[in-house]
Structure 1
């Protein structure tokens, strides 16, 4: 069974204290575990994908424009990977698939499903932020596409503790995901 690690939206805007839509401390404490998982997947020669939110300044057509402050704007440092994950990426770019995404789900409007299937991936491990938004929507689409799913509890975070807890239960009870 071929596996892939999806590191969803672990960027400055979503994690740093100064980020425009930050999880803050909950997002920061998972940094070490995300990098550790990346190192494990790299060593075991599994796929590593960084689906990263992409927005354009003053985009009146994107639905998030009405819901959230501007974040992950093209060409800004808000889209930079947070902390030591950025260093990991810089050192291993050739082994990581960076993928821009425009919606919550990493599968929506992207070639992620095709990319994974071409490589024989049947099991996705999902980490990153926010547990109850982009991680959740990515997991739902992965479920609907027939992937086996693992969500690493110690490598996901949200700015909404209740939403985070609900999503972790939902992964397990509704999507049949392994939550570890």
Structure 2
């Protein structure tokens, strides 16, 4: 989400600067630990509403998340699959997103969600936030903004499904 500096109070600006100074990998770490999607802007808003002031560090953030109702507002991550670059399941023909990556890590990250506000295209389904695509876990079809943009190669799709352990997958339709 894009926020203009004019609409933010100085405390929020300083919290955001401190948060970004901790590092992008920290968001990945938070999501792995708390099993939910962490939106930096929303977390900074919540910290500000609680009256937390800079300087900010990892311990303050962990303490806030674990002692507040913040996790109730996050989209749960049922499982996270990290693939190396050479194991990518995204087909070569799909147009890549040009937005900045949320976190830096080698390879692809697929977050499996169930009971999302929007269960499209399947429940559960997998998000690749770096590329802004969602995968139907029964067919391997890839969507961006509800528009079909490609389909995962059958071999790669079956390999990805085999890595998902903690979730009952939709019926295979390939």
Q: Same fold (TM over 0.5)?
A: no
Which has the higher relative contact order, 1 or 2, with Cα contacts under 8 A spaced 6 or more apart? 1
Larger Rg: 2
Higher strand share: 1
| TM-score range for the pair, normalised by the shorter chain length | under 0.3
| TM-score, structure 1 normalization | 0.22
| TM-score, structure 2 normalization | 0.22
